[in-house]
Structure 1
Amino acid sequence: MRSLHTYAKLIKFSHTVFALPFALAAVTLAHMEKPLTIPTLFWVVLAMVGARSAAMGFNRLVDVRFDRLNPRTANRPSVTGEISVQAMVGFVAGSSLVFLVSAAMLGPLCLKLALPCLAVLFGYSYTKRFTAASHMYLGAAIGLAPLGAWIAVTGSLDARILLLSAALMTYIAGFDILYACQDVDFDRSIGLYSLPSRWGIPRALRFSEALHATTVVCLLGLGLAFQRGRIFYLFLCVIAGLLVLEHWLVRPHRLNHIPIAFFHVNSLVSILLLAAVWLDVLWPT
């Protein structure tokens, strides 16, 4: 159990709450097109966990020299020696295998897309070395989750689900910019790229606000595209309010509120989005 806790700490397993609800929302919408089976749901969730674990483990592996120098990340298991390099390589390989097997169980198309998906996820770990657009890349990579979940259930692509992927992309990129505000001085000193270190915190925060406004617009478009009812739009109003609260909490002179905004507010946004879709499908109005 101690070892399991250490690996969960390594990949911040609790942060799965940010993207998994979006994928499950896509599964719920796909269920209206093609009835969902329990095995499909199981393999979708396992694929999500495998892909995220592999990506996070790979990130910790290639970033260990930076994490060792950053006071904020110096206590990560990959830095302290709680998990060896060999163990991290094994963890990434094992998680990747879980993802590939899950994709195979979801059908030939999912299996064909699995390796390119892993390549995109792994690629994020290098983006901060050369571009301040790393936040957008991260959002785009994680934004594949609803698209993959839809394909897993229906076996085909529907352009409407891209609105949910776009919502997740802008949502992730927006709060990743907020998170990066904590490392402005370190990033500048070590030569890493981020919008806060490149543009300054005030401008980066305004860009984050624009991204989260786009999130709300995308979710509104999703509701219209799938002809959702009043329950969905009621929850959407709450989600919009939470995003406004997040940006009220995090100001250039209030960066100490970033942990609250990052985990507590954002986890509520994801959970409420899933509840909005699920309840609206369950009780259509």
Structure 2
Amino acid sequence: MLLALACMVTARTAAMLFNRFVDWEIDQRNPRTATRHLLATRPVVLTWLVLSSALFVFFAANLNRLTFVLSPVALGIIFFYSLTKHFTDATHFFLGFALGIAPVAAWIAQTGRVQLPPLILAFGVVCWVSGFDLIYATQDYDFDRREGLHSLVVRLGLAATLRIAQGLHFLMLIALIGFGIVATLGAVYFAGMIPIAVTLIYEHRSARALDDVASINRAFFNSNAFVSAVFLAAVCADRIL
């Protein structure tokens, strides 16, 4: 378990550092991210990127053979997302896929094989992440359009983007229910779907205030942190009780 957590932390760190490294100039021009480069120099970011990537592969190698073999593939997937905004409007779905491999990776780490439950959960994560990234990307609508960066927000506009996010989060809820059925979870888990559904509704109501950054941040950070915490609690409680 500790090795799996170490893989999660180092992979996430490497992905964020890679995104910071390749988008260095873009982030400096974006008012929302203009101060990020003040936290560290680019050579320092590159150094920590190499270190965190190496640690991820090391921890994966100590889990089992399959996690070690797939560790470079995982790094390639999570790094590739940072490049997609330069050539495709589907960048949000690549981010969803990058995070969606996490439950499959965790399952492999614990069992050494791939089964149906983590694949269903992965689909739910793809829908969840893609949906909330669409909401978050509305903050950069003007900047992305001016810089020629790709996103569905630029392609479709704000209102259509939020409708797509709603549909994705509906599919996410269906996937979580499907995961519970396939994984033979019980009533405690399914009861946890109620606060998750309510939180998703709140998230989208908050996201309607497109001119209010605080509302968007509530929709993005607070709501999704609560959803993930409730999901974890529901799974753990169902297994324990």
TM-score by length of 2: 0.97
- C-alpha contact (below 8 Å) 1:181/1:255 kept by paired residues: no
2:82 counterpart residue number: 125
2:22 counterpart residue number: 62
Q: CA deviation at 1:161?
A: 1.4
1:243 counterpart residue number: 200
1:50 counterpart residue number: 10
- Amino acid paired to 2:106: A
Give me the CA root mean square deviation: 1.0
Partner SS state of residue 143, structure 1:
helix
- C-alpha contact (below 8 Å) 1:182/1:255 kept by paired residues: no
What are the residue-to-residue correspondences of 1:181-192 with 2, within 5 Å?
A: 181-192=138-149
1:282 counterpart residue number: 240
Q: Which runs of 5+ in 2 are unaligned?
A: none
- Amino acid paired to 1:239: I
Q: CA deviation at 1:85?
A: 1.5
| Number of residue pairs matched by the alignment | 240
Q: CA deviation at 1:97?
A: 1.0
Among 155, 166, 184, the residue aligned to 1:209:
166
Say if 2:129 is the partner of 1:172: yes
- C-alpha contact (below 8 Å) 1:54/1:92 kept by paired residues: yes
2:226 counterpart residue number: 268
Residues 32-83 of structure 1: CA distance to partner in whole angstroms, max 9, x if unpaired?
xxxxxxxxx010000000101001000000001100101110011xx22x31
Partner SS state of residue 217, structure 2:
helix
The whole-number CA distance in structure 2 between the counterparts of 1:254 and 1:61 is: 29
1:150 counterpart residue number: 107
- C-alpha contact (below 8 Å) 1:201/1:252 kept by paired residues: no
Instruction: Give runs of ≥4 in structure 1 deviating > 3 Å.
Output: 252-255
The whole-number CA distance in structure 1 between the counterparts of 2:198 and 2:212 is: 20
1:87 counterpart residue number: 44
Q: Which runs of 5+ in 1 are unaligned?
A: 1-40
The structure, 1 or 2, with the larger RCO (C-alpha pairs under 8 Å, 6+ apart) is 1
Partner SS state of residue 156, structure 1:
coil
Q: CA deviation at 1:185?
A: 0.3
- Amino acid paired to 1:232: Y
The whole-number CA distance in structure 1 between the counterparts of 2:73 and 2:153 is: 30
Q: CA deviation at 1:249?
A: 1.0
Query: Structure 1 residues 72, 262: CA separation in 2 closer, same or farther (over 3 Å shift)?
Result: same
Q: CA deviation at 1:98?
A: 1.1
Residues 87-123 of structure 1: CA distance to partner in whole angstroms, max 9, x if unpaired?
1111000100110011000011100000011011110
Q: CA deviation at 1:211?
A: 0.5
- Amino acid paired to 1:147: V
TM-score by length of 1: 0.83
Say if 2:187 is the partner of 1:259: no
1:218 counterpart residue number: 175
The whole-number CA distance in structure 2 between the counterparts of 1:187 and 1:54 is: 24
The whole-number CA distance in structure 1 between the counterparts of 2:22 and 2:233 is: 36
Residues 200-238 of structure 1: CA distance to partner in whole angstroms, max 9, x if unpaired?
000000000000000000001011111211111111111
Q: CA deviation at 1:167?
A: 1.1
Point out the more displaced range, 186-195 or 222-231: 222-231
Query: Structure 1 residues 253, 176: CA separation in 2 closer, same or farther (over 3 Å shift)?
Result: closer
Percent identical among aligned pairs is: 39
1:107 counterpart residue number: 64
- Amino acid paired to 1:46: A
